[in-house]
Amino acid sequence: MTPRLWAACTLAVLLVALVVYAAVTIPWQRPPAPRADQLAALGQFPADQVARAREFHSALRPGAYGGLLVGLAGALVLGFTPLGSRLVGWAGRPFGDHWIAQAVLGGLLVVLAAEVLTLPFAAWRHTVVVRYGISTQTWGAWAVDVAKSFAVGAVIGALALLGFFAVTRLAPRWWWAFGAVGAAVLVVLLSFVLPVVVEPIFNKFTPMAAGPLRTELMDLAARDGVPVKDVLVADASRRTRAVNAYVSGFGPTRRIVVYDTMLDEATPDEVVSVAAHELGHAKRNDVLTGTIIGALGAAASVIALYLLGSLGWLLRWAGADAMGEPKAIALLIALVTLAGLVGGPVQALVSRRVEARADAHALELTGDPATFEAMQRRLGTVNLSDPDPPAWEYVMSASHPSTVERMAAARAWARGER
């Protein structure tokens, strides 16, 4: 068998494994709460508040979709014309066309070009979230965040590019196999390392002061059979008024993180309700499931890219000789961007199913649907969510069930529909 045939067979096996694993671990069969309950929940919101939330989201759309379109156009132009490969060649020239300079500097240059194109749209979105009182960041603090994000991405990207092109040079015919394993390992590493290493770059975490709430949260976790090491408070208020909580880390490092904004805005019972939802994710190992799906997807993507490398016309468009050389970086990024665009709605669907299961877990664990519903209403109100967003946007990008769906689920649960 040729390397290409091996690659095609491995890709088929990975795709089957991905589909089977997702079919088994994702709660596909959970029906959404009745629409009548959703409409009743929507009636709980004052009309002017719903109107303001919808106005906010309309104001965000030009910046969001404009950025998406321009970013996509930039990636396609760089990847499907020789422009990207010229940028890479140019970056390597001062270093005698050395492959490391081409891979790392060229790669960063291509990404930076796309970043610069979309930056004005990000700034536009910032003006909207400030105008509507969600963001509390000054332009200076916002710029620091943008720079930090780029720096984190640059470090991870440089290491990935360096590893990838080292492998393509060492094993020109079999790099797809090493690349697939490497991509899967990278996904797993990032999933474990990012929360520990990257979160502190953006926020400060302090242990929650001893008191009734902390005790209740620790008890809740123990009762749920999900031991947590600590309850931390994140200083989210330095950039946002939005409220949130999450569980991060695995096993002995697991901790509940609560935004400080949440402690100001929500009642202690509501914080418990949110924590119960988060414990649902921990109990079902949702992060691990997502990591395994991501790892399988990453491995499959590398092999798919290798196979696409046999399309001579594609390489000619991109001004590259092979998929495994640095001059193909922009083409690789364009293909990954396209795949992400197609995969986004699928990812959102999977996420919504998993979130609905965590909601059901919170209801079971607290046995308090009234507080759950009140908490959802407050989250929606403070975060200025559209409680019942347009269907197309929901299908394309909603990572969580809508606020009215979540409130309706609590109502259905209270009636004994579980």
- Do 170 and 97 contact (CB within 8 A), yes or no? no
Helices (H) and strands (E) in the chain, counts: 18, 4
The secondary structure of residue 385, as a DSSP letter, is -
Binding window for Zn ion (CB under 5 A); candidates: 53-61, 106-114, 227-235, 351-359 = 351-359
Closer Cβ to Zn ion, 278 or 325, answer by number = 278
Stretch that binds Zn ion, among 174-182, 196-204, 265-273, 347-355 (CB under 5 A): 347-355
Minimum CB separation of residue 219 from Zn ion in Å reads: 21
What length is written for the chain? 418
Which residue number, 358 or 412, has a Cβ lying nearer to Zn ion? Answer: 358
Other beta carbons within 10 Å of 207:
12
135/239 Cα distance (integer angstroms)? 6
Number of residues that bind Zn ion (CB under 5 A): 2
Query: 265 vs 359, which CB is nearer to Zn ion?
Result: 359
The 10 Å CB-count burial string (b at 16+, else e) for 401-410 is: bbbbbbbbbb
Would you state the torsion angle of the CA atoms of residues 112, 292, 306, 12, taken in this order, to the nearest 10 degrees?
-150
Q: How far apart are the first and last CA of the chain?
A: 52
CB of 50 to Zn ion, least distance (A): 23
Distance CA 9, CA 157 (A): 28
Stretch that binds Zn ion, among 211-219, 314-322, 340-348, 358-366 (CB under 5 A): 358-366
Q: How far is the CB of 286 from Zn ion (least distance, A)?
A: 8
- By CB under 5 A, the residues from 78 to 107 that bind Zn ion are none
Smallest distance, Å, CB 356 to Zn ion?
9
CB of residue 189 vs Zn ion: minimum separation in angstroms? 23
Indicate the residue among 325 and 373 with the shorter CB distance to Zn ion. 373
**Cβ 368 to Zn ion, closest distance in Å?**
18
Distance from C-alpha of 256 to C-alpha of 371, rounded to nearest angstrom: 19
Q: Given the rule CB under 5 A, which of 216-224, 253-261, 349-357, 385-393 is the region that contacts Zn ion? A: 349-357
Contact footprint for Zn ion (CB under 5 A): 355, 358
